[in-house]
């Protein structure tokens, strides 16, 4: 795309980045406000540049709280051409425009974050077909961001160390087969899932699925503790912390007979081992859909009543949550999942609330540290599928190019690009 074909960046809209004088005469600005034609693939464009350029990459920046969280890349013909192919809006910022950015970075809630490398992405996903989709994989596929999938065997083999960013979704780390017993125990897909999960556990040397999942949860927690970054949605959120709190306890020795026999589990939970939650009550009742009282899912609510507001963080003093909440909209439409939102009293004091459900005492989006690593949990299953019914067709992400909910997922994808991490593998 020629410079004439690209819309020049107005100086009045580009007042927020102090850059070294060694930068080229013009930069490519990827706006993330209303001017952007495809917010989701814009992330893919940045990721692709970081991945393809490697050590040859020029200075690449994430402009926090500037035009919806815009990106600034070196003026590269390949980026311009790919932007046209992918339908991503790219503008030109001249050196004169960039020179004015120093003023706003000094005087307003804005900052620049250097993006250094394309993070290696791993998604915890079973090697068999399930009755539901994974919204993170859907949006990664649409944004053209590459990732690898792994499961229990790979975790036990120590492969987590190859990833900078790991995602978990509707997974059940308590080994209760997703708590679908009451509604789906006679369905072929449920029976098949139980059989396959049981076989995987036995093939890996575990007597039961709960015992296998407890060890997998422990290994994933160790990955974070050693410096990894973990993102989770839906049932993976509270079932993961339950598994950590119940380490060493046989959660459900026998589930399918309808009579869990774990003695006095509640009084044996160790909340010091959990990442995000405390003082929660666990449910081992097969006929109950919830894992614990962490979750709040008011299913009679409408999308408007489940809407959540992103907290406006200080870009200079709180850059991490600022990165994770970049959006062109501060109010996001709500969406359900097996774990939809979190009771505030169950959230640990050190955990940062990044979004809360409007007019409620419920957290929707949280972030915190665990050892040397970080985690981010977003309640709900799919930002553009409000109710999410088991067996529904996957969302067509191309219909939601401007989804602020999907943007929150992709913020997490690029976050590790801005942070050097040294950890044991």
Measured between alpha carbons, how far is 400 from 142 in angstroms, rounded to an integer? 10
pLDDT at residue number 183 = 82
| Residue of 50, 58, 63 whose CA lies nearest to 97 | 63
Query: Residue 205 above 80 pLDDT?
Result: yes
What's the rounded mean pLDDT across residues 360-378? 96
Measured between alpha carbons, how far is 132 from 388 in angstroms, rounded to an integer? 9
Query: Residue 2 above 70 pLDDT?
Result: no
Measured between alpha carbons, how far is 357 from 365 in angstroms, rounded to an integer? 9
> Do 11-114 and 121-418 come out as alike in CATH topology?
no
pLDDT at residue number 262 = 57
Going along 115-204, which residue ranges are E strands? 121-124, 148-150, 165-168
Measured between alpha carbons, how far is 364 from 366 in angstroms, rounded to an integer? 7
Return the CATH architecture of domain 11-114.
2-Layer Sandwich (3.30)
- DSSP assignment letter at 295: B
Per 3-state DSSP, what percentage of the chain is helix, strand, and coil (rounded to 5)? 35, 15, 50
Please write the tens of the pLDDT for every residue from 16-58. 333 333 344 578 999 999 999 999 999 999 999 999 886 555 5
pLDDT at residue number 298 = 77
pTM (two decimals): 0.88
- List of residues 6+ apart from 332 with CB closer than 8 A: 307, 308, 309, 310, 355, 383, 404, 405, 408
Please write the tens of the pLDDT for every residue from 149-196. 999 999 999 999 999 999 998 899 998 888 888 888 899 988 999 999
DSSP string, 193-220: HHHHHHHHHHHTT-SSHHHHHHHHHHHH
Query: Residue 422 above 80 pLDDT?
Result: no
Tally Cβ neighbours within 10 Å of residue 317: 9
Domain 121-418, CATH among 3.40.1130, 3.10.20, 3.40.50, 3.30.1330: 3.40.50
Please write the tens of the pLDDT for every residue from 229-263. 999 999 999 999 999 999 877 666 444 444 555 55
pLDDT at residue number 214 = 93
Residues 280-292, buried b or exposed e (16+ Cβ, 10 A)?
bebbbebeebbbb
* 24 neighbors 111 (Cβ within 8 angstroms): no
Measured between alpha carbons, how far is 244 from 223 in angstroms, rounded to an integer? 13
**Residue 201: alpha-carbon gap to chain centroid:** 27
- In this structure, what token pair is assigned to residue 163? 């990833």
pLDDT at residue number 18 = 36
5 or 41, greater pLDDT: 41
In the chain, count of helices (H) and strands (E)?
Answer: 12, 15
Tally Cβ neighbours within 10 Å of residue 311: 15
Backbone phi, then psi, for 299, in 5-degree steps? -70, -15
Least trusted range by pLDDT, from 65-69, 101-105, 354-358, 363-367? 101-105
Task: List the domain boundaries for the chain.
Answer: 11-114, 121-418
Please write the tens of the pLDDT for every residue from 261-302. 555 778 889 999 999 999 999 888 777 888 899 998 777 677
- In this structure, what token pair is assigned to residue 261? 């026999």
């Amino acid at each position: 795309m020629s410079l004439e074909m690209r819309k020049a960046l107005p100086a009045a809209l580009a007042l927020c980045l102090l850059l070294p004088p060694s930068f080229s005469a013009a930069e490519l600005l990827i706006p993330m406000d209303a001017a952007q034609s495809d917010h989701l693939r814009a992330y893919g464009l940045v990721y692709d540049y970081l991945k393809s350029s490697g050590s040859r990459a020029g200075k690449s920046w994430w402009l926090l709280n500037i035009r919806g969280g815009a990106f600034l890349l070196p003026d590269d013909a390949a980026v311009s051409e790919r932007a046209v192919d992918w339908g991503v809006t790219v503008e030109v910022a001249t050196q004169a425009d960039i020179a004015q950015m120093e003023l706003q970075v000094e005087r307003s809630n804005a900052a620049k974050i250097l993006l250094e490398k394309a993070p290696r992405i791993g998604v915890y996903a079973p090697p068999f077909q399930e009755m539901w989709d994974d919204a993170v994989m859907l949006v990664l596929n649409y944004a053209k961001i590459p990732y690898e999938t792994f499961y229990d065997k790979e975790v036990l083999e120590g492969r987590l160390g190859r990833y900078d960013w790991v995602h978990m979704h509707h997974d059940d780390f308590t080994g209760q087969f997703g708590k679908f017993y009451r509604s789906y125990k006679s369905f072929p897909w449920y029976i098949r899932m139980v059989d396959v999960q049981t076989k995987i556990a036995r093939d890996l040397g575990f007597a039961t699925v709960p015992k296998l999942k407890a060890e997998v949860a422990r290994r994933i927690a160790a990955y974070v503790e050693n410096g990894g970054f973990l993102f989770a949605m839906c049932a993976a959120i509270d079932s993961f912390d339950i598994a950590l709190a119940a380490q060493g306890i046989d959660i459900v020795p026998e589930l399918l007979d309808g009579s869990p026999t774990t003695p006095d589990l509640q009084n044996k939970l160790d909340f010091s081992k959990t990442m995000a939650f405390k003082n929660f009550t666990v449910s081992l009742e097969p006929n109950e859909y919830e894992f614990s009282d962490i979750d709040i899912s008011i299913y009679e609510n409408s999308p408007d009543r489940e809407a959540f507001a992103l907290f406006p963080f200080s870009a200079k003093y709180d850059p991490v949550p600022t990165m994770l909440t970049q959006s062109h909209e501060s109010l996001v439409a709500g969406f359900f999942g097996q774990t939809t939102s979190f009771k505030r009293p169950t959230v640990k004091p050190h955990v940062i609330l990044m979004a809360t459900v409007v007019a409620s005492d419920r957290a929707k989006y949280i972030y915190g540290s665990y050892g040397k690593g970080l985690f981010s949990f977003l309640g709900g299953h799919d930002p553009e599928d409000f109710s999410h019914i088991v067996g529904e067709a996957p969302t067509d992400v191309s219909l939601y190019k401007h989804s602020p909910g999907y943007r929150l997922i992709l913020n997490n994808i690029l976050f590790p690009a801005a942070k050097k991490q040294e950890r044991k593998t």
